[in-house]
Structure 1
Amino acid sequence: MPQSRSSGLLAIYPHITSRDRLLLQLLDDHQVLTTDHIHRMLFLARRTCQLRLGELAALGLLERFRFARAGGGSYPWHWTLGHHGHRFQAAAHRRPEPTVRASRQSIDRLSANPRLTHLLTTNEFFVRLAVHARRHPQARLDRWWSETMTTKQFRTITADGHGLWSVADTTVGFFLEADTGTEPLGRLVAKLDRYAHLIRRGGPQYPVLFWLGGEQREEHLHRLLRDRRVSVPVATATHATDPTEPVWLPGGATSRVRLIELPSDHGQAVADNPNYDDGVFVL
């Protein structure tokens, strides 16, 4: 008798650990992570990470792809949900079960997405926060929302991501604008109008974090911010820095502060959808 699709998925369950479930959820939420991302967040030994990812791929829970480097060699493996991974997450969240074709199309579109580098840059920012929290018991990444979830919940804005970062009893909310150098800085600054509109209609006064590719772009952005005299709280740092350290330069300031030290009106802040489960990020 042919094995049903549901029984095929059930047969995989004994092989799925709690760490695997967390990884599947991360990929469901954020689409793609590299081997390095996964190793830093979830494993101690890189070899153990590589072996486990291979096992999950063999089970059909994960798929991977990578690209050739111009000078020879290859870029790191990029991991995303495989067909059984899509099925597992659909069952966990009561979504319609995807077809093999739908799963394959999702993977193909992701791998060919011209914004893939931007997505990986955004995810790298949050991975750094998660890794810091893993090593420091007082720190927590309480919320990590993708661009899709942030847009769905706040509607007015189209941030690359949104997070809640806590150290001891202090929590800072923020919106992230991850810069890869492909967009004019004037267009980045123009996005602040939407954040101002969100505040005017009663939304949270979270700082907008511009995470930039280099010091020169950061200096140029601050000149634009001074000329525009924006009313939204803004802070900048570069990709070369640890975002948990005193690397954030608020608009109009001369000294840098830690992420947890940025002003953030989190007390009354809730997203537009009260039914969303934050799903605290716990490693």
Structure 2
Amino acid sequence: MPAITWIQQMLAFYSHLTERDLNILALLDEHRVLTTDQITRLHFTATRTCQDRLRQLQHLGLLERFRYARTGGGGDPWHWTLGIYGARFMAGTHDRPIPTERAHREQLLRLSNHVNLRHLREANEFGVRLAQRARADPQIRMVRWWSERTATARFRGVHPDAHGLWEVSGRLVGWFLECDMGTESLPRLVAKLAAYENLARSDGPAYPVLFWLPGDIREANLHRLLRRHSPPVPVATATHDTDPAGPVWLSVDGRRRTPLADLSSDHGRPVAGNPNWIDGQWDLSEPDTAGHSDLD
């Protein structure tokens, strides 16, 4: 397609896009893939309304979707990601290189066949549940929700599955998510804490590392190991079937479960490499995501 043609088509989309549409595109640009149910809980009150709007955005080429068949019949939920025009729109928004159709197709295929797709979906579910709680309660704010790509780029030396800032009644708590699917050994999980310790020792944030685990038995086994190693940074655990905003987080001392907002949290000092501070000033603005391609 000649460049002038698709540019004209992109410009024609603008009059059809609502603020909610723009928020959906931005979410998928940051978090790569979300299910229909997740998008419904974030931005709609009725599933049918969400389905209809997503299909309209798909018809415009702004979104794409895929799902897998289930053994025994039926299928997984639809997974939504940016379509070619959505990818180009977000690339233009963030002054990134405009993806070609071939590059976008290849990236979409890699994402839809990604061996870690289940892990990505579960990590995103953590953020969705928090954002859903914030949407329903005016005393709560989801101040920041960064993907693995953004958090890894912004915090030196650590590779969390997500990062966020959570505010309840004026108390602001940061967190790093380690979303466990039961596929790694427990010693390997514990070994990840060394990077967070190095970050804190270099005057970066000492945020609680949240191990979100698939079940109670794995959580109990992890706690036995953690108590032997005395983690150098705040650590808390909960399981996938819980509300991460609620009193579900068990610290290493194991005495009681507390809400996310009550966990220990240190935002670090105003040093280079701490994205909470810009030129010595406390700053919670969103990062420049110019380094992201649409589906990397």
Query: TM-score, normalising length from structure 1?
Result: 0.95
Aligned counterpart, 2:134: 133
Partner residue of 1:271 out of 268, 275, 281 = 275
Shift of 1:155: 2.2
What SS is found at the alignment partner of 2:257? coil
The answer on whether the counterparts of 1:153 and 1:273 sit within 8 Å (CA) in structure 2 is: no
CA distance in structure 2 between the aligned counterparts of 1:47 and 1:279, rounded to whole angstroms:
32
Amino acid at match of 2:41: R
Amino acid at match of 1:108: L
Amino acid at match of 1:135: A
Shift of 1:266: 2.4
What SS is found at the alignment partner of 1:175? strand
- Structure 1 regions of 5+ residues with no counterpart? none
The percent of aligned pairs where both chains have the same amino acid is 54
Pairing of 1:1-283 with structure 2 (within 5 A): 4-266=5-267, 268=269, 270-271=274-275, 274=278, 278-279=285-286
CA distance in structure 2 between the aligned counterparts of 1:185 and 1:267, rounded to whole angstroms:
28
Q: Report the number of matched residues.
A: 279
CA RMSD across the alignment: 1.7
CA distance in structure 2 between the aligned counterparts of 1:115 and 1:16, rounded to whole angstroms:
31
What SS is found at the alignment partner of 1:177? strand
- Structure 2 regions of 5+ residues with no counterpart? 288-296
Shift of 1:47: 0.3
Amino acid at match of 2:232: S
- C-alpha distance after superposition, 1:75-132 (max 9, x if no partner): 0000000000001001111111111111111111100110111111100000000000
Q: Which moved more, 1:267-276 or 1:59-68?
A: 267-276
CA distance in structure 2 between the aligned counterparts of 1:277 and 1:108, rounded to whole angstroms:
34
CA distance in structure 1 between the aligned counterparts of 2:131 and 2:49, rounded to whole angstroms:
19
The answer on whether the counterparts of 2:267 and 2:276 sit within 8 Å (CA) in structure 1 is: no
CA distance in structure 1 between the aligned counterparts of 2:268 and 2:153, rounded to whole angstroms:
21
CA distance in structure 2 between the aligned counterparts of 1:207 and 1:128, rounded to whole angstroms:
18
What SS is found at the alignment partner of 1:199? helix
- C-alpha distance after superposition, 1:127-168 (max 9, x if no partner): 000000010011011000111111101121111111000012
Shift of 1:13: 1.1
What SS is found at the alignment partner of 1:165? strand
CA distance in structure 2 between the aligned counterparts of 1:260 and 1:277, rounded to whole angstroms:
18
CA distance in structure 2 between the aligned counterparts of 1:267 and 1:277, rounded to whole angstroms:
13
CA distance in structure 2 between the aligned counterparts of 1:48 and 1:176, rounded to whole angstroms:
31
The answer on whether the counterparts of 2:130 and 2:142 sit within 8 Å (CA) in structure 1 is: yes
What SS is found at the alignment partner of 2:244? coil
Query: TM-score, normalising length from structure 2?
Result: 0.91
The answer on whether the counterparts of 2:203 and 2:269 sit within 8 Å (CA) in structure 1 is: no
What SS is found at the alignment partner of 1:263? coil
Amino acid at match of 2:130: L
- C-alpha distance after superposition, 1:30-57 (max 9, x if no partner): 0000000000110011100000000000
Q: Which moved more, 1:260-269 or 1:153-162?
A: 260-269
Shift of 1:278: 3.2
CA distance in structure 2 between the aligned counterparts of 1:277 and 1:204, rounded to whole angstroms:
14
The answer on whether the counterparts of 2:39 and 2:50 sit within 8 Å (CA) in structure 1 is: yes
Runs of 4+ in 1 over 6 A off after TM superposition: none
Q: Which moved more, 1:267-276 or 1:181-190?
A: 267-276
CA distance in structure 2 between the aligned counterparts of 1:274 and 1:71, rounded to whole angstroms:
54
- C-alpha distance after superposition, 1:185-226 (max 9, x if no partner): 111100001111111111111010000000000000000101
CA distance in structure 2 between the aligned counterparts of 1:72 and 1:186, rounded to whole angstroms:
38
